[in-house]
Chains A and B, each alone.
Chain A
């Protein structure tokens, strides 16, 4: 028998530690994916991942049993926006910007990394385009970015996104529309590049 989210939360509130672990495993990938796309940085996404589930743990008793996933993503969104706001305060992009990094975690150098592993120029172009897409998404305001990531990448319906974001569906559509219009200008043209 598969435990429902609600039953797992209830069990967690009752002191069952395995229940919380099961919830984390159940939604871990999608929450981490969401936070990765929100932040563009694995390290920060993992920090926010921990923060999200810490908040879930602390607020579990307030969950009322309707749509755990949306509730979870709402917490993740708030954690991400808080994190981005903190980062914005600290952010100083300069000639000193650290863009040299290991092969695993460096988006900026994705192009070069890709070129390293494969001689095909298509791969290099594709990696550069990924950097551009990442940059275009990163430059969106936090709420537009959250809307886009939830609706496009997490494939939530607009009404679910509205529930996560704590606003109306109309507002979500406006945010989405603005984000897409911005992206239409900034996204690279991939039709001629690597497929």
Chain B
């Protein structure tokens, strides 16, 4: 074997996973190659870490006795007995259980701690965490999620020297349950600002608060902790990410007070997203529409958010770092002990920019950034459209769940049905539009309408059956803005242009007797057909390929408007089940005739 051995080959050799032939071949190579021997040695040292879990584990006599006793009471028999219990026995048992719970809840907490209820971390389900953890802390002498008052608490002064690390496990406080939580979802950047309030029980002196972000998409660099009360007596000194402990951080808090203090914790996470969609139902006369707006919020952040107030941000947020990428790091800043960085933001047209260079070493002051982000309000001027969309009340959004929430509902929105024909844009198809405005006249206008898909239905009959008319996606609609929903090609309203005649005229010649200019005169008949039961409004746009043109309508009741330099536009109404021909003659000027025309 002339090449060096791969890591896989070395592992298979080290753990005798390779076939005999391969073992011989690898062994032969190792005999000759110092580099591969060195690599094998490195791997062996690496795998030596596995021996750290080689501790001797003994099954206690209690456990064995329980198992043996259990074996002496076959389950089948117990189940059979249970099934035979009459209904009154179940009710009596329930009363007993409730009574027992009441008694237990009134016991001193130190008694409760003696119960063998403690469970290891990381594996406990949420119920275990939430119900068992307080008991454990209660046993330490301070209720709730506090910590045991240690000997130094009795001392009048607090050591000025901040501790390097917690002296023991008991010195650590974990985050208790949230009292409330607010999510602000910046959809465009896969970014959610989470603000949550929790009550921490502090002792007077130095406190360590430990948190983990394993299996979540929380950006640990963005974590910020602020006391909501007694701010002058509580000092958040530092946030440390201990070496070799994955996805775990500790805040060091110096407190002049002892007891429960409300804190606000803010951080960014990714994995939460939202999208809006709308359902419109046209009335029978298609002059009014009922519209419902929905928002679907999805949670893949790894974290459950219970009773969260949810706010959605419409607008573009540009980030230097992707939050999901930050969250995936083993250590918050790439390596343990690295500098804590300051996150600032720069506001720019079109949204918020977290621009390069604004990450400076220092103490975490994300709060400023958070407040800046948070106080953005509706701006409708220029390019900086930015809107905060708050969902009323609170919602529980568990991990991997999506939730559809009604965002608004409006009745009797006046709409105009409009059919458009523009060969250059849609070929020979007539396209149907529904037009309305996001304003009070249309029973809307309370808030801008975020981007989303719109589906329009119409009432097919008097008993409320609906038929699908069409769907489109809309861009952000500011208040007072008109919107036209493109519902796709119409089959019942047709526009067919027919060229009736073409001639050239007014030739002009230069000094060499060559043609220098001429006119082209075309006569068109636009054959319009409305096979619907309703009158319709049609807008026809015609292009001439030159800015030098004149147009003469055959009919007197319809006129044209110059849409732009090269296009004319006709607008007319067509009655139900009507056909009509709209004729016009257009003259285009070419060569030196352009000059003549412009004069």
Whether B118 lies near A177 (C-beta < 8 A) is no
Name B178's closest neighbour in chain A (CB-CB).
Answer: A96
Interface string of B5-44 (1 = CB under 8 A from A): 0011001100101000000000000000000000000010
Whether B172 lies near A180 (C-beta < 8 A) is no
Contacts of A31 in B (CB 8 A): 59
Whether A100 lies near B173 (C-beta < 8 A) is yes
Name B10's closest neighbour in chain A (CB-CB).
Answer: A184
Whether A187 lies near B53 (C-beta < 8 A) is no
Interface string of A29-50 (1 = CB under 8 A from B): 1011100110111111010011
Among B171, B172, B244, the one with the most A-chain Cβ atoms within 10 Å of its Cβ is: B244
When the two chains form the complex, which single residue of A32, A158, A189 contacts B46, counting CB atoms closer than 8 Å? Answer: A189
CA distance A41 to B121 in the complex (A): 8
Known: A20-B71, A97-B129, A128-B244. A28 touches B47 (CB 8 A): no
When the two chains form the complex, which single residue of B54, B58, B122, B210 contacts A107, counting CB atoms closer than 8 Å? Answer: B122
CA distance A46 to B118 in the complex (A): 13
B234 smallest CB distance to A (angstroms):
19
Q: Answer whether residue B528 sits at the interface, using C-beta atoms and an 8 A cutoff.
A: no
Name B174's closest neighbour in chain A (CB-CB).
Answer: A100
Known: A99-B174, A128-B244. A49 touches B49 (CB 8 A): no
Whether B67 lies near A115 (C-beta < 8 A) is no
Interface string of A154-193 (1 = CB under 8 A from B): 0000100000000000000100110011011001111100
Contacts of B72 in A (CB 8 A): 17
CA distance A24 to B72 in the complex (A): 13
Q: Answer whether residue B243 sits at the interface, using C-beta atoms and an 8 A cutoff.
A: yes
CA distance A14 to B226 in the complex (A): 67
When the two chains form the complex, which single residue of B58, B210, B213 contacts A29, counting CB atoms closer than 8 Å? Answer: B58
Known: A98-B174, A100-B136, A128-B245. A29 touches B50 (CB 8 A): no
Known: A57-B71, A96-B175, A112-B166. A41 touches B120 (CB 8 A): yes
Whether A96 lies near B177 (C-beta < 8 A) is yes
When the two chains form the complex, which single residue of A17, A180, A191 contacts B11, counting CB atoms closer than 8 Å? Answer: A180
Interface size on A, residues (CB 8 A): 80
Contacts of A33 in B (CB 8 A): 56-57
Q: Which of B114-130 contact A (CB under 8 A)?
A: 118-130
Whether A103 lies near B244 (C-beta < 8 A) is no
Whether B17 lies near A177 (C-beta < 8 A) is yes
Q: Which of A2-10, A62-70, A73-81, A84-92 contacts B (4 or more CB under 8 A)?
A: A84-92
CA distance A58 to B120 in the complex (A): 29
Whether A99 lies near B50 (C-beta < 8 A) is no
B251 smallest CB distance to A (angstroms):
12
Chain B interfacial positions (CB closer than 8 Å to A) = 7-8, 11-12, 15, 17, 43, 45-50, 52-54, 56-59, 63-64, 66-68, 70-72, 74-75, 118-130, 132-133, 136-137, 165-178, 210-216, 218, 242-246, 248, 265, 302-304, 399
A-B contacts, 26 of them at CB < 8 A, read A17-B71, A17-B72, A24-B68, A25-B59, A36-B57, A37-B53, A39-B123, A40-B122, A41-B124, A49-B59, A58-B74, A87-B123, A90-B125, A92-B304, A93-B216, A95-B218, A95-B303, A96-B178, A97-B211, A100-B121, A100-B170, A108-B122, A109-B169, A111-B245, A129-B52, A131-B245
